Structure 1
């Protein structure tokens, strides 16, 4: 009987794989925990950026449409914007089919012309892009009726997520932390996996035990919620790594029929700048977009930064968010003819693959359901470094008496289990 118990104890002990995995899981988690928490939290916040930006727009998103008066053209409204907000440079605008929707301009503060003044005026940590904001204009009268810097907030959140606001170094740190997090997820699944499946192990693996103290509750949160989120979390991490590392992005492009040097190829199909030719008006692009896409309720047109730009970026859709579109199309338009640029299929696929990977990463793949699902996974992933740290801290700071009691309880339970198996 004693020999059987001894053999069972050896068999029930942790395998070498689990011991190594456990060691890596602990120390990799401690090393990368703060970075992972920052990246996952910022990514989770970004999921609902469109809804929050719309909420911040408030009543300025709508106007009282007067009878028998047409909306001003985008050119006229941009002139009005420059006159009322001269210190800002617009880089795209949104116009809407609905009569009661205001005209929205995305802009950034312009750096001062004087270099010394620029150095003195530039806020700490700001680049030359300035501060982003949305301004809402009455499309019938041209008056600025509201603004929000929610654009700036989510720009900062996105760059915390991608590079910790630390440029190339931050991007490298985030990339390494993401790889570690991927290893952590796989390792966590290995550690979670019961050695034998029975009613007791299934209950412990899939359910959080009620009526327990916070240490046990925290342990269950980490294990159970970690398991339920592991596959989508791995998927989100992989799509993030594809965006972070060019080698993975290139492999993805080649695997799905895209091309790695799409932008260089695209330039060959774009018209050359001709100072003698006059570009078509923004109004003509808007009218054409609504005419060709009758289901579209919104059109966005990028404002070129220089006159030599010959291609306009146009989006027509039911809804266009900060980085998302719903039931619509992105187009590159010849500014002289108004026709869409006829890029090769591989160049078009490059854009489709790039945008699809982004949508999969941030939850735009499934409308509101996809966002809610991704948000929940993000919350769980954000909690994992915290609950994992508390498990480690709790074990490290147990009193000798408490540690002995817990050890005796675990030993007693093991012996009961061995006797039942015998």
Structure 2
């Protein structure tokens, strides 16, 4: 008798795999538009500093071998300009930032009643000459950057609605990533499956190429996409933030100051310009002349002068805030590792606290400088493409099934 070859029966998928593929398909379709917008705007938002650098040249000055002056000198110049040129409403200086030696002094101003920021005045730190009035409403660059951020953070919805809406879709995207790697994983490893799993067949027909772009690029960017997504969800939900802190052993960490600063003073006399005294303490006596120093001006009796110091411009994990009583210059004695009132230096933090402080840089891609920003941009673009290539795969398979059914009906 002739020997006939029989094709081995096709193994059926496990229930776990069927559920994973079903979740990947329908959750991907559900969150696709939001994921595309969030990831595409993220790819642009990563380079907001570079966009500002090339489109806003007034941020740069010629480096000179001259010392910078105390805050009150620059404040007087800026306030005189505001009083002379913004006569429709009362505007006051709200903060001053000493930046890098080749950058302008940045003086923020706000309205005197609600203290809503309106713009920045740029002064030459060496000559004290006026450079530019960066009125927010008239700055096309800032309006574009704010527009991109609103899309990324809130899907252009009101923040109280948009933030949880984006957060929910990002949580869904995390599930899509996990189920995607389960669907990608071959049932059997051989030379054929390895080529399909790890290589893009660029000369294939567009349907095959689209599948490869979805599967292969999705695999290579999976870990980075997961990190960018979960670090973003951190800012959408308090319960997620609390759970993350608990996981790292920081559930009981103080996040805000519990009581006003006491009268135990750094200096006993009353200062007419407390921001000058704070600047002299930090900039001159403590030698923190590198990086950025931002000093916020006090408002009203018993107000605080805050000082934000960032030793590594372009990165944020090393930044911390110190608060001083505007009258006595007493400093807040509490140790607060995170948030706007976080006053602990990075080296003082525990391992868990350091990881939490790194969250913002991990999310923005600034953790390793320009190289990781480029990586974050590429990963964001790939993530933005996944809903598109995934939809095309689903649509083509759905259309193919319809053609088969029509053919059978005709027969």
Q: Which has the higher helix share?
A: 1
What is residue 371 of structure 2 aligned with on the other side? 369
Q: Hey, what's the Cα distance between the residues in 2 that align with 1:149 and 1:260?
A: 43
Report the alpha carbon displacement of residue 14 of structure 1 after superposing the two structures with TM: 3.5
What is residue 40 of structure 1 aligned with on the other side? 39
Which moves more between the two structures, 329-338 or 364-373? 329-338
Which of 284, 289, 295 is residue 282 of structure 2 equivalent to?
A: 289
What is residue 157 of structure 1 aligned with on the other side? 148
Q: Show the 5 A alignment for 1:32-181.
A: 32-62=31-61, 73-86=73-86, 90-96=93-99, 98=101, 101-107=103-109, 110=111, 133-139=119-125, 140-145=127-132, 147=134, 148=139, 150-164=141-155, 165-181=157-173
What is residue 14 of structure 2 aligned with on the other side? 15
RMSD value over aligned CA atoms? 3.8
Q: Show the 5 A alignment for 1:255-270.
A: 255-258=247-250, 262-264=254-256, 266-268=257-259, 270=261
What is residue 116 of structure 1 aligned with on the other side? none
Distance 1:90 1:404, change over 3 A: farther
Report the alpha carbon displacement of residue 404 of structure 1 after superposing the two structures with TM: 10
Report the alpha carbon displacement of residue 155 of structure 1 after superposing the two structures with TM: 3.6
Q: Hey, what's the Cα distance between the residues in 2 that align with 1:90 and 1:402?
A: 72
| Contact 1:162 1:174 (C-alpha < 8 Å) held by counterparts | yes
Distance 1:91 1:396, change over 3 A: farther
Q: Hey, what's the Cα distance between the residues in 2 that align with 1:92 and 1:249?
A: 30
Measured against aligned partners, the alpha-carbon deviations of 1:48-71 in whole angstroms (never above 9, x if no partner) come to 222222222214521586989968
Q: Hey, what's the Cα distance between the residues in 1 that align with 2:404 and 2:108?
A: 60
Q: Hey, what's the Cα distance between the residues in 2 that align with 1:309 and 1:69?
A: 26
Q: Secondary structure at the match of 1:104?
A: strand
Distance 1:97 1:49, change over 3 A: closer
Report the alpha carbon displacement of residue 193 of structure 1 after superposing the two structures with TM: 0.3
Q: Secondary structure at the match of 2:234?
A: helix
Distance 1:21 1:160, change over 3 A: same
Unaligned runs of 5+ in 1: 114-127, 406-422
| Contact 1:95 1:104 (C-alpha < 8 Å) held by counterparts | yes
Distance 1:55 1:303, change over 3 A: farther
Distance 1:37 1:256, change over 3 A: same
| Contact 1:278 1:336 (C-alpha < 8 Å) held by counterparts | yes
Q: Show the 5 A alignment for 1:182-193.
A: 182-193=174-185
Measured against aligned partners, the alpha-carbon deviations of 1:281-314 in whole angstroms (never above 9, x if no partner) come to 3333333333324551432223445554224132
Measured against aligned partners, the alpha-carbon deviations of 1:259-290 in whole angstroms (never above 9, x if no partner) come to 557345x1325247xxx954643333333333
Q: Secondary structure at the match of 1:389?
A: helix
Measured against aligned partners, the alpha-carbon deviations of 1:25-83 in whole angstroms (never above 9, x if no partner) come to 22211111111111122222222222222222214521586989968723223313423
Equivalent pairs, count: 380
Q: Secondary structure at the match of 2:188?
A: coil
Which of 280, 290, 294 is residue 300 of structure 1 equivalent to?
A: 294
Distance 1:143 1:224, change over 3 A: same
Report the alpha carbon displacement of residue 145 of structure 1 after superposing the two structures with TM: 2.6
| Contact 2:79 2:93 (C-alpha < 8 Å) held by counterparts | no
Q: Hey, what's the Cα distance between the residues in 1 that align with 2:354 and 2:84?
A: 38
What is residue 213 of structure 2 aligned with on the other side? 221
Q: What is the TM-score when the length of structure 2 is the normalising length?
A: 0.78
Distance 1:95 1:84, change over 3 A: farther
Unaligned runs of 5+ in 2: 264-268
Q: Show the 5 A alignment for 1:202-221.
A: 202-221=194-213
Q: Hey, what's the Cα distance between the residues in 2 that align with 1:92 and 1:402?
A: 69
| Contact 1:302 1:312 (C-alpha < 8 Å) held by counterparts | yes
Q: Hey, what's the Cα distance between the residues in 2 that align with 1:52 and 1:234?
A: 26
Measured against aligned partners, the alpha-carbon deviations of 1:144-201 in whole angstroms (never above 9, x if no partner) come to 4353453444344333322223222222211210111011000110110011111111
| Contact 2:274 2:305 (C-alpha < 8 Å) held by counterparts | no
Distance 1:97 1:380, change over 3 A: closer
Distance 1:279 1:37, change over 3 A: farther
Distance 1:226 1:308, change over 3 A: same
Report the alpha carbon displacement of residue 3 of structure 1 after superposing the two structures with TM: 8.9
